[in-house]
Structures are given as C-alpha cells and as structure tokens.
C-alpha cells in the first residue's frame, strides 16, 4: 500500500486543519494520520505498515454528546501506554469511553521526550490498523464471548467537554460502552453481578475457591485474538464479569477490550531484523507467524486460567470457533470498516481471515504446548488437599477444598507426550499434598505457601521425579528415594504482570552479528547465535549456548568460538565449557626485563599467534555479589617464528613454535560496589591462580601463576566526582612460556605504553581515575557524559634483574552512557615514555 508523498502532504495541509467538529454537525471528513505518509525509501527501512489507511480521508459521524446514552458527561481521563481515553457517564446510568484512534507513546521517560526516539516510536503507530477494532464484535458475538461494540466517531468541539475540551475536541475516536456494574443494584453489563479489572479478579481467585473462570470462553476469546493477530492481550486489556455458577459459587467470564493492535503490520527491513530479538513484531498475513510473539503478552493469564482444559475440550473449542466464524461472519466484520478502507484492504482481509480460520488448529497446537508443556496449577489461600496420582505415562491432579470429599474444584490428567512438568502452587493456609502411584515420566513440583503444609510422596518406582518446596518451619515432608526436598518456596515469575521479564520455561534464540576493525586484522566480520533455555526457579536462565564464526579479511584468518553454560547443574554448582580457536592474535614481545630497550618500530616486536583454548569451569556463588570458580584448561599456541617479527625470530623465547599445555585455573571475585555501571562507593576484588603441571612434554617442567586485584571507589555525598583506584599484581612460578609472562603496558595496565611493553616473572601496578559526570546532551538518544583524568604506575620484576624503575602513564578521557543502554562507551588518551595512545572501549576500565 503506497502513498504519494506529494498528494499526502497536500491532503494533510488541506484536510487536517479543517476538521472542526462543532456540536450539531452530523459528519466530517478526516484523515486519521496524515503525518504517517513517508517516502518509498523511508518505508523500505521503517515499514509501510498501514500508512495507506492512515492517510486515506473518509467521512465520520460527529458524536452528539447531548443525545448519546441520553446525554454524556465526561468525568476523567484514562488510557494505557499509547491511547488517550475519555471516560463519560450517560444519563442512562451506564459508563462509556471514547478512545483515540491515533496513538501517542505515553510511557516514554522524560529524557526521551522531544528526541528522535519519540519521533520514531510515534511513526511506528503506522504499523497499527486504525479501524481494526470495528471488525471484531461480529467474531466475538459468533463464538459467544462478551464484548462491547465500538463505533467510529469524531468528538465535537463542545463546551460539554469542560476541562477536557483542549485535549479531546475534534479527535477521531472509538466510542463504546465501558462494561461496569449496574446502577442502584441492578444487573450490570450483559446481566453480570459485578465487573472487575484483572488485578482485583486474580486476587479474588487466589483468595477464595468459590470463584472460578469460564476457561472455555476464555479460550474462545484467545482464539479470536490469534485469528486477528492481536498480540496485546495483557492484563489491562481484560475486564471480568461475575455470574452465578449453577454448581455453586461464582463464575467469571472474560470481556476482552481495546483492539489497538489487531492486524498489526510490523514490516520494513529494520523491524524484520529486530523481529529475531522480539518476536512480537508481527506482520499480519494469511499464514500464522511466531505464536510465541502472538501470545506472549498474555502468558500470565493463559498459563494460569486455561490449564484446567483437557485436550479434548481444547480441540472441541477450536472446532467450535472454526465452525461459528463462518465466511459470512467474517464478511460482516469487514463490512463495518469505512468504505474507503474496505476498498483498499477489505478483499485481502477477508481472504486472510478465512485462511487463518481454516489453519487455526496449526497455531493453537503451538499455543497448547506453551501452556501444557510446563503446566502451572494453582490452589488458593484456603486450606486444600491436592492428590497427584501417577500411572504409566499419565499424572492425574485433583484439587479439593478441605479434605478430599465430593467433587474436586480442579481435575485434570496430564499426558507425558504433552507435559514435561506439572508445577502445583499451594498458596496460603494449611494444605496437604499427596503424591501416589508409579509413572514413567513427568516431573511433579509442589510449591508450598504461607501455612503449615504437609507433603507426602509415596512414589517407589518409575522414572518420574518429585520435588517438594516449602520454606515454612512447621511444614512436614514424607519422602522416598525419588523425592527432592527444598527448604524454600520459589516465586513464580510473572512474565508481564509486574513488568518482570524472567521466564521459567521454553527457550529463545537470538542472532549475534559482529563487526570490528584494527590495523593488524583489518575488517573482521562475524556471525553467531545465542540459545537460552529456561527452567523452574533458575534466573535468568537454566542454560545458554553461544557460538560465533568470524573472518579477518586483513589477516585472512578465522576465529571460532563456542560456549555452553548450565546453571545449577548439580548441588548449586554452575558449569561452563568453552572452546576458542583464533588465528587473529597479534601480540607484542619486547624481551624480558623492567628496563629493556625497544628502539625499533612496533612491527619489529609483533608476533603472530594462533591459539586454541578448551576449558571447563565449575562455579558457585551469587553472580551479582561473589563467585568462586575452578576447572581444567587446555591451550595450544602456535607462534610464527619465521614471520615479519625479526626480534622474535632472533630471540626465540621459551614457548615459541608449537606449544601445548594442560592444567587448571581457579578464581574468586567479590563485588561490593554500590552501582554496576558508574560505581561511586564500595569495592571489587578478584584473585586467580593457574597451574600447568609437567604434562604434554613441557621441556622445563610445570609452571603457574598467582594474581590479585583490589578496586575501591570513593565519592563525596553527592556521588560526583568519584575517585576509583585499582591495585593489581601477578607472580609467575616455574618456567613460563613468554606469552604467559607477567606483563605491563597497554589498555588494561599502564596506558600510553605499547601493549605488553615489559615482561617479567612478576608485576605490580596501580591505576587511578578521577571521574566527573557533567550532565546530559542529545544525540538521537539522551547521553549522560563525563570526563576523567587517569594516572597509571607499574613495573615488572625479573629474577636476577636489579631495577628500581617505575613506569607511569597520564592522560584523560570522556565517557558516554546512552539512555536505556546498560553500558558506557569510553574514549581516552594517555602518554607514557614519550609515546601517546588513544583507547576506545565499553565500560569503565575498572
């Protein structure tokens, strides 16, 4: 859908200012979003979206505030992250809302207001379909889901608007009833007894077992969401209506609302690339795209409320929705669009919805797996009994209020070919959980709540595991050899509810391209992937696999790397394995000694080295505060003895040519800094050791090294400026190959000196930086920035050498921290021993 930019500009200038909808005017012609018209080059990168619909003029009824609902009176403003919403009371006793069709990013931090980021986000509203909400009511009506019926109107410039007149006059809006309780004790929306928002509704579900949800109706609602590509079904997009349950208590029915993101079109080169990171950037199409992205905003609702449905009920509901949403129902929905939108988009939309309806089972199979592969079952804050019976490949879960008498309030059989884990959350009061029978698989986890819980596991055979969690001192356990008991109660992560992005199931994959350039290697291009897996009570992930392949065009050499990390693999120990092959390393070697001369140009001392490293590491600790790690390591270095490095070819130090070593490393680090990015107080420390015994034919026996560093941060009460001081040293032991020597010189030790300028069997150094934050400026993103002065001093020690020389470096630099980016970019200049050097890097040096 392309739009002539010149024509659009003319329409925008002519039409937009003329939309003055006085009370008493029946209708006006309006352009929903003339500002979204862009050139073909712009849209190729930023996306065409629905710009053609946003920039198409059409005639819209002007709302008559005097007659609608017997007369409307505005009383407050609301809305979510993008929508302006005017709340009104009707003379008929009901509530109504008028919601802006055009959107504005309202959740931006103050620092981003008026920046290019705000303009870019505003422009991406063009990915939304401006009138998509109109097609939805016939679809929901056909499947029996409660809903309001939106109508497209222009809000008049009417004194009735009062204090809201400036904000809402002449605004294109969707007008609909806001589901609410009835006035004076009468029935509320759709005959309901009460209407609640999601927060209140979920509190009721957890507090009182007399409340339940109509899971089949919720599934119907979610199937319509999937059909129309509505990715935004978070807690704020639902209300809940209470009705009497014929079986006792109350049953709640969902009322989906706010269809801002149905039929979204996130296309364009940049968004397609970013979709690999965030799958929610959907592109509405006759075929379904990533179901994870389509459903993720509602996982808290789906995984809590749909778990009671059996596979048979699920499949029957899908078939029912397919049969009820006929071609005619789809046509009726599309016919509610403005004529101008139907003529541009209607035929495609009808065909796409029909195809998506016919393929609905494909998407819902993936949706089913998202809920039931790792199933969450919730008790309430009442005293309850949970019976878990395993048999063969099944696990039956029954949940009773009080003793296990009568009908359970929850009952479901989980199948091993669908479910890996069942996680049962007992919540409050004194609960009883009993695991019985034998089964071949399905891991059962029971998480205790705040009361005195009793958990009993009598499982004696089969491959199924049971893990019982409870931190209460008075809770009791009965276990077998197949039971694991954990004296804590992990918190279930809420993916979107509390704006916490941690997960405890599934996996993600993210690409990791890389670009670099330096004088030794030339242009370096790389590509890799990171695959994360998530599991119960493992934050932020349970494992990570990374790999990357890079090629240096100047050196004509590759670099290959792979890393596997497993969290809490055994007894709270994390394991990682790493393999790196690099043909890109260029190191400096100037000889041994603290006063060795280097009169030649740098190239005379450079050494080309290829290095293979294989390591396995075990770690314990809290990665944010302290870590203790150890493990074996293998290295093979191949150093070019016949290349351009004439000094190295002449001296041929120990370790030249091919050199293999097998040994072990260990380290301990502690982080007591007050802030991760710009510490103003506290400390950090690290000690490490490595040892390589006389294996693999080491000519001169074993060798190793010990090292340590301590960093301190001191600031005045205002935390600016900050003095950061680092003390570090290393001591090698035994006959050490030249590239394992204790070095100073370069970007991480004494700045200004050439890299690895001095080598010995010991080193000692101090770095000091005085860092001052100066404020903020705007360059696409707001940037915090500051300056720092630096002073470095260090030396190496060599057995048999008598030297009192200390090498110093002095200089300064700047640092930049882009807003919302969790790292700092630094640039610095330093001078040492008649030489100047410039450095660029990420994060402060220490």
- Domain stops at, among 486, 507, 534: 486
Confidence of residue 500 (pLDDT cuts 50, 70, 90): low
Is the pTM for the entire model greater than 0.75?
yes
Range of the domain at 808: 571-842
Measured from the Cβ of residue 1, the count of other Cβ atoms closer than 10 Å reads 16
14 has a pLDDT exceeding 70: no
More confident residue, 111 or 808: 808
State the pLDDT at residue 334.
98
- 589 token code pair: 């070697």
522 found inside a domain: no
- For the chain, the domain total comes to 3
Give the mean model confidence (pLDDT) for residues 760-786.
90
Top-ranked range on mean pLDDT: pick from 166-175, 438-447, 506-515, 814-823: 166-175
Q: Is residue 262 part of a domain?
A: yes
Q: Of 434, 463, 486, which one is at a domain's C-terminal end?
A: 486
Q: Do 202 and 189 belong together in one domain?
A: yes
Going along 301-415, which residue ranges are E strands? 374-378, 384-392, 394-401, 410-415
Q: Give the per-residue pLDDT at 596.
A: 95
> Per-residue pLDDT for 21 more than 70?
no
Same domain, 272 and 412: no
Residues 92, 214, single domain; the answer is yes
Q: Is the pLDDT of residue 819 over 80?
A: no
- Contact residues for 459 (Cβ-Cβ < 8 A; gap 6+): 390, 435, 436, 437, 438, 439, 466, 480, 482, 483
Cα separation, 447 vs 469, whole angstroms: 5
Computed over every residue of the chain, the mean pLDDT equals 90
pLDDT 10s digits, 348-388: 999 999 999 999 999 999 999 999 999 999 999 999 999 99
Contacts of 18 (CB under 8 A, 6+ apart): none
Residues in the chain: 846
* Cis? peptide before 540, omega within 30° of 0: yes
In a domain, 584, yes or no: yes
Residues 360 and 413 in one domain: no
Confidence of residue 712 (pLDDT cuts 50, 70, 90): very high
Token pair belonging to 221:
């609602």
Do 358 and 414 lie in one domain? The reply is no
| Among the listed residues 209, 194, 205, the one whose alpha carbon sits nearest the alpha carbon of residue 240 | 194
Lowest mean pLDDT among 77-91, 152-166, 233-247: 77-91
Query: Do the beta carbons of residue 136 and residue 332 sit within 8 Å?
Result: no
User: Is the pLDDT reported for residue 10 higher than 60?
Assistant: no
Nearest to 303 by CA among 506, 31, 552: 506
Q: Any idea which of 158-162, 593-597, 638-642, 789-793 has the lowest mean pLDDT?
A: 638-642
Same domain, 45 and 161: yes
Q: 379 and 365 in one domain?
A: no
97: in domain: yes
When pLDDT is averaged across residues 7-27 and rounded to a whole number, the result is 49
Q: What is the mean pLDDT of residues 752-770?
A: 96
Cβ atoms of residues 550 and 543 within 8 Å = no
pLDDT higher than 90, residue 221 = yes
Tell me: do 108 and 216 sit in the same domain.
Answer: yes
What's the pLDDT score for residue 4? Answer: 37
Its sign, for the CA torsion 674, 678, 680, 685, is positive
| Residue 397 and residue 321 share a domain | no
In a domain, 434, yes or no: yes
CATH number at residue 665: 2.40.160.50
Q: Which letter, b or e, does each residue of 6-42 get, where b requires 16 or more Cβ atoms within 10 Å of its Cβ?
A: eebeebbeeeeeebebeeeeeebebbbbbbbbbeeee
More confident residue, 503 or 354: 354
Q: What confidence score (pLDDT) does residue 201 get?
A: 96
Stretch 249-268: mean pLDDT, rounded?
94
pLDDT at 606: 86
User: Three-class SS of residue 766?
Assistant: strand
Is 752 part of a structural domain of the chain?
Answer: yes
Residue 765, classed as helix, strand or coil, is strand
Q: Are 29 and 58 in contact (CB under 8 A)?
A: yes
**Residues 254 and 183 occupy one common structural domain:** yes
559 lies in some domain: no
Q: What is the pLDDT of residues 528-584, one digit of tens each?
A: 999 999 999 898 899 999 999 999 998 888 999 999 999 998 888 999 999 999 987
Could you tell me which residue, 173 or 823, shows the higher pLDDT?
173
Q: How far apart are CA 612 and CA 616, in angstroms?
A: 14
In this structure, the answer to whether residues 361 and 380 fall within a common structural domain is no
pLDDT at 473: 85
Domain boundary among 486, 518, 540: 486
For residue 671, is it within any domain? yes
| Cβ–Cβ < 8 Å for 156, 168 | no
The string of pLDDT tens digits covering residues 631-675 is 999 999 998 776 555 788 888 899 888 899 999 999 999 999 999
pLDDT above 90 as % of the chain: 72
Shared domain for 38 and 77, answered yes or no, is yes
Higher pLDDT, 426 or 493: 426
């Amino acid at each position: 859908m392309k739009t002539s930019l010149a024509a659009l500009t003319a329409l925008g200038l002519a039409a937009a200012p003329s939309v003055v909808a006085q009370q008493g005017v029946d209708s006006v012609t309006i352009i929903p979003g003339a500002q979204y018209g862009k050139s073909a080059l712009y849209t190729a990168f930023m996306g065409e979206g629905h710009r053609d619909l946003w920039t198409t003029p059409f005639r819209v009824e002007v709302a008559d505030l005097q007659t609608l609902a017997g007369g409307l009176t505005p009383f407050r403003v609301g809305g979510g992250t993008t929508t302006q919403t005017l709340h009104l009371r009707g003379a008929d006793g009901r509530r109504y809302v008028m919601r802006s069709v055009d959107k504005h990013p309202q959740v931006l931090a103050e620092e981003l207001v008026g920046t290019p980021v705000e303009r870019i986000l505003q422009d991406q509203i063009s990915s939304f379909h401006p009138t998509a909400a109109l097609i939805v009511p016939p679809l929901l009506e056909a499947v029996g889901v409660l809903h309001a019926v939106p109508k497209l109107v222009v809000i008049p410039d009417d004194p009735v608007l009062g204090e809201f007149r400036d904000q809402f006059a002449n605004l294109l809006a969707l007008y609909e009833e806001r589901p609410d309780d009835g006035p004076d004790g009468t029935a509320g929306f759709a005959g309901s007894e009460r209407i609640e928002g999601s927060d209140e509704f979920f509190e009721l579900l957890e507090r009182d077992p007399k409340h339940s949800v109509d899971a089949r109706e919720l599934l119907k609602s979610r199937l319509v969401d999937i059909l129309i590509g509505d990715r935004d079904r978070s807690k704020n997009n639902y209300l809940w209506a209470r009705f009497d349950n014929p079986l006792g208590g109350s049953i709640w029915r969902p009322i989906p609302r706010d269809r801002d993101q149905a039929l979204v079109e996130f296309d364009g080169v940049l968004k397609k690339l970013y979709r690999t990171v965030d799958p929610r950037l959907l592109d509405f199409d006759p075929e379904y795209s990533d179901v994870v992205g389509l459903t993720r905003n509602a996982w808290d609702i789906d995984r809590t409320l749909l778990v009671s449905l059996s596979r048979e009920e699920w499949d029957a509901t899908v078939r029912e929705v397919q049969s009820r949403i006929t071609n005619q129902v789809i046509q009726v929905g599309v016919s509610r669009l403005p004529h101008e939108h139907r003529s541009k988009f209607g035929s495609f939309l009808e065909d796409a919805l029909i195809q998506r309806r016919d393929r609905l089972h494909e998407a819902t199979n993936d949706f089913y797996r998202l809920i039931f592969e790792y199933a969450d079952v919730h008790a309430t804050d009442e005293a309850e009994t949970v019976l878990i019976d395993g048999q063969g490949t099944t696990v039956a879960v029954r949940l009773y209020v009080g003793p296990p008498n009568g009908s359970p309030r929850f009952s479901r059989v989980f199948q091993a070919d669908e479910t890996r884990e069942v996680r049962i959350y007992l919540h409050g009061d004194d609960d009883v959980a009993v695991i019985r029978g034998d089964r071949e698989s399905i891991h059962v986890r029971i998480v205790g709540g705040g009361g005195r819980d009793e958990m009993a596991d009598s499982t004696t055979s089969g491959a199924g595991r049971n893990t019982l969690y409870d931190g209460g001192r008075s809770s009791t356990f009965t276990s077998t050899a197949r039971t694991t008991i954990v004296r804590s109660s992990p918190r279930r992560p809420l993916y979107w509810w509390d704006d916490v992005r941690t997960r405890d199931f599934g996996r993600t994959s993210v690409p990791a391209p890389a670009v670099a350039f330096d004088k030794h290697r030339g242009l370096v291009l790389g590509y890799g992937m990171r695959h994360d897996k998530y599991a119960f009570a493992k934050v932020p992930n349970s494992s990570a696999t990374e790999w990357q392949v890079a090629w240096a065009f100047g050196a004509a050499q590759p670099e290959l790397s792979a890393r596997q990390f497993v969290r809490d693999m055994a007894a709270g120990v994390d394991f990682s394995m790493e393999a790196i092959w690099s043909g890109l390393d260029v190191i400096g070697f100037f000889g041994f000694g603290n006063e060795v001369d280097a009169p030649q140009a740098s190239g005379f001392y450079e050494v080309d080295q290829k290095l293979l490293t294989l390591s396995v590491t075990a770690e314990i600790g809290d990665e944010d505060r302290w870590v203790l790690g150890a493990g074996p390591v293998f290295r093979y270095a191949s150093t070019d003895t016949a290349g351009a490095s004439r000094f190295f070819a002449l001296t041929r130090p120990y370790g030249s040519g091919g050199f293999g070593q097998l040994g072990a490393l260990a380290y301990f680090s502690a982080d007591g800094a007050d802030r991760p990015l710009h510490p103003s107080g506290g400390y950090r420390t690290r000690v490490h050791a490595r040892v390589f015994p006389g294996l693999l034919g080491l000519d001169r026996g074993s060798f190793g090294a010990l090292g340590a560093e301590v960093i301190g941060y001191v600031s005045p009460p205002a935390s600016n400026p900050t003095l950061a001081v680092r003390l570090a040293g290393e001591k090698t032991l035994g006959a050490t190959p030249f590239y394992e020597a204790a070095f100073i010189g370069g970007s991480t030790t004494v700045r200004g000196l050439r890299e690895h300028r001095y080598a010995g069997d010991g080193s000692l150094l101090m770095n000091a930086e005085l860092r001052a934050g100066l404020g903020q400026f705007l360059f696409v993103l707001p940037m915090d920035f500051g300056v720092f002065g630096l002073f470095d001093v260090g030396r190496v020690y060599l057995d048999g050498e008598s030297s009192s020389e200390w090498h110093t470096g002095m200089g300064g630099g700047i640092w930049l921290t882009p807003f919302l980016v969790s790292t700092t970019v630094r640039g610095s200049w330093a001078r040492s021993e008649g030489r100047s050097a410039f450095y660029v890097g990420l994060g402060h040096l220490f």
